[in-house]
Amino acid sequence: MPETDLTLLTEAAKEAGKLALKYWKKAPASWEKDDGAGPVSEADLAVNAQLEEHLRGARPDYGWLSEESADDPARLAAPATFIVDPIDGTRAFLNDDGSFAHALAVARGGEVVAGVVHLPVHDLTYTATIDGPALLNGVPIAPGARAELEGATVLTSKLSDNPTHWRHGLPGYKRSFRSSLAWRLCLVAEGKFDATISLRKAWEWDIAAASLIAQRAGLLATDRHGKDLHFNRAPPLSNGVIVSNAKLHAAFLENLAFWPE
């Protein structure tokens, strides 16, 4: 079942990419969300509608959780649930930056069983199932083996540079950033960076697909306290995220200051 779901997700993600590119660099209409959660555009909504038609048309018994759809609590009782970010990195998309992604996952029993992260501008498609390897364009990927935070390349926001978030002062890591959180996780999975952390609460649709890809590449993917990630929850939020190899993960947990749940 995860394999057939993965085929469906991959097809849907690539079709989403084709649609998104029709809006990219064309100044689509956009506005700020009422809840202060950032921008949304007509492209986000069009891609969301196409994905829902494609995916739920093929799996009508699955639940639906998407950044751009009203949350339907029926998903909590569904045998499986699609967890979707139609355009992860909308701000980049609107700035004509190609580092946006389509992130699609299927969750069963609280865990992701199939996931796809597709970047149409870069022609990159990351995939994984719960019992298969992590792949990039069909080729297995593997992460790096750095063991120390000092000098590590870390994808994170400027928030992480605040020394108050660290028990022993800001570590000497090298910070980089990508607008798409899903892509950040995938870049660590393929060894381009050593780790990614998000100290803010993370929406499930931003991390569901990519967390599976990272785990199947051999990484740990947890919340900021080192607890396992669980999906299709109410509300669909994780208390931050840490993705790295086991040694770096332990170093993060040792150095990060405690934040309440």
| Dist. CA 143–CA 13, nearest whole Å | 24
- From residue 130, alpha-carbon distances to 12, 113, 115, 217 in Å are 19, 5, 9, 11
Mean pLDDT score across all residues of the chain: 96
pLDDT at position 222 is 98
Tell me the percentage of the chain whose pLDDT exceeds 90.
92
pLDDT at position 141 is 99
pLDDT at residue 260 greater than cutoff 70: no
Question: What are the pLDDT digits (tens) for 159-189?
Answer: 888 899 999 889 999 999 999 999 999 999 9
Task: Check the annotation: does 130 bind a ligand.
Answer: no
pTM: 0.96
Q: Where are the alpha helices (DSSP H) in the chain?
A: 2-23, 42-58, 90-94, 181-189, 204-216, 246-255
Task: Check the annotation: does 85 bind a ligand.
Answer: yes
Asked if 115 and 13 touch (Cβ cutoff 8 Å), the reply is no
Q: Are residues 20 and 133 in the same domain?
A: yes
Q: Do β-strands 111-119 and 124-129 pair in parallel, antiparallel, or remain unpaired?
A: antiparallel
| Dist. CA 187–CA 210, nearest whole Å | 10
Q: Do β-strands 81-88 and 124-129 pair in parallel, antiparallel, or remain unpaired?
A: unpaired
Q: Are residues 124 and 159 in the same domain?
A: no
**9 lies in some domain:** yes
Task: Check the annotation: does 88 bind a ligand.
Answer: yes
The band of 94, judged by pLDDT with boundaries at 50, 70 and 90, is: very high
**96 lies in some domain:** yes
pLDDT at position 1 is 66
- Looking up residue 136, the CATH number of its domain turns out to be 3.30.540.10
Q: Are residues 10 and 102 in the same domain?
A: yes
The band of 259, judged by pLDDT with boundaries at 50, 70 and 90, is: low
**The domain boundary residue, chosen from 80, 113, 140:** 140
**The domain boundary residue, chosen from 83, 114, 140:** 140
Range 18-45 average pLDDT: 93
Long-range contacts, stretch 218-222, CB < 8 angstroms, 24+ apart: 218/142, 218/143, 218/245, 219/143, 219/188, 219/189, 219/243, 219/244, 219/245, 220/244, 220/245, 220/246, 220/249, 221/185, 222/249
Q: Are residues 198 and 232 in the same domain?
A: yes
Q: Are residues 129 and 181 in the same domain?
A: no
pLDDT at position 34 is 81
pLDDT at position 88 is 98
Query: Among 30-44, 74-88, 148-162, where is mean pLDDT lowest?
Result: 30-44
Q: Are residues 102 and 163 in the same domain?
A: no
**Domain span including residue 240:** 153-255
Question: What are the pLDDT digits (tens) for 183-231?
Answer: 999 999 999 999 999 999 999 999 999 999 999 999 999 999 999 999 9
Structural domain total, the chain:
2
